[in-house]
Amino acid sequence: MNKTDPAVEARRPKGSFFRTKKFLIAIAVVVVIVIALAVGLGVGLTRNREGGDDGKSKYPPLSGPPDIPPYNVSNLWQPAVGTPWQIILKKPIVPVSNGSDITPYETVYDLDMADHSADTFAKLRAAGISIICYFSAGSWENWRSDKDQFPAADLGKVLNGWPNEKWLNVSSPAVRDIMKARIKAAASKGCTAIDPDNVDGYDNDNGLGLTGEEAADYVKFLATEAASYNMSTGLKNAGALIPRVINFVQFSVNEQCIQFAECKNFKPFIDANKPVFNIEYPPSAPNVPANVAADICSHQGKAAYTEGFSTVIKTLDLMGWVQYCDGKTFNTSTVTTFTNSRGASS
């Protein structure tokens, strides 16, 4: 995932809404919240994964027919359209006694692969919960335990808004070997599927000349590796790749397509009977006014083409709080003290 950059917001095309007082107030609220988070947490916005994509895609969809996987995808976990889900990346969830005591219960969980133990995953799996394991496949993160294995030549520019991460050369055999090892680790931890993030470097100032074609090849590589362990794969954002990779992936994980009015790009997943796990980050979260939630859940206006989407409303820090379109909210328990693999605790 990338980041919400108020400067990017400010560069958006000036429709009527963007000239209103409401818009200026919204910008001011975002700025205040960002500053409050940065100051209040005392850690900046960089230590752990947080939500926010870079903005509307600038890259045109790849052309050509969808590629056909060289293996039988019908054996893989294929969640149904509309499957409810929860995503928590900031901290590990509290280890559960038997899995079924987690709230919300009957959902899919998207969790950081490295931050959880196989034991926690085993308890969730025993309770019938499917686990999507998050890792960054397209960025180098300076706190991961395997960070020193990446050749310096494979690191590109720093991610906009994420000073502890750099874009990766996704064509590099060395990078791919490291990702193979991560996927193997995901399998041995009991992940049902993988959520490889930051495969949209081609749509960002990456310093490596990354192209959409390279990214599509990379997604197919990741999905093929995962499938060799009977794990499914999601396409994270990267709408331009859909025409080429949709047969390789079993779901979409999307950030802010409603905010950016680009959900139409992800509708091909619904048409292929594959869910779109969509996250929206209204600045008011976790106190979302009813009209804001109603707009997000309306399937109209900016939310056009979202019929069947599995939408969650989250705060940018991707903690345990979540709101669904049926109005229900939950606050999944996370550990209070967390020492991540970089050694910093919060």
Which residues make up the interface to ligand NAG (CB under 6 A)? 72, 74-75, 77, 97-98, 100-101, 153, 169, 171-173, 192, 208-209, 230, 286, 320-321, 331, 333
The residue (of 63 and 75) whose beta carbon lies closer to ligand NAG is 75
How many residues are recorded in the chain? 346
CB of 322 vs ligand NAG, minimal distance in Å: 9
The residue (of 77 and 338) whose beta carbon lies closer to ligand NAG is 77
The residue (of 5 and 213) whose beta carbon lies closer to ligand NAG is 213
For residue 18, give Cα distances in angstroms to 6, 22, 27, 56, 265. Answer: 13, 8, 10, 15, 23
- Give yes or no for a contact between 197 and 134, defined as CB atoms under 8 angstroms apart: yes
Strand order of the β-sheet with 155-159 is 139-141, 162-168, 155-159
Alpha-carbon span 89 to 66, nearest angstrom: 31
- Give yes or no for a contact between 94 and 103, defined as CB atoms under 8 angstroms apart: no
CB of 94 vs ligand NAG, minimal distance in Å: 8
Alpha-carbon span 99 to 145, nearest angstrom: 28
Residue with the shortest CB distance to ligand NAG: 101
CB of 265 vs ligand NAG, minimal distance in Å: 27
CB of 318 vs ligand NAG, minimal distance in Å: 12
The residue (of 74 and 345) whose beta carbon lies closer to ligand NAG is 74
The residue (of 45 and 96) whose beta carbon lies closer to ligand NAG is 96
CB of 30 vs ligand NAG, minimal distance in Å: 18
Alpha-carbon span 177 to 183, nearest angstrom: 10
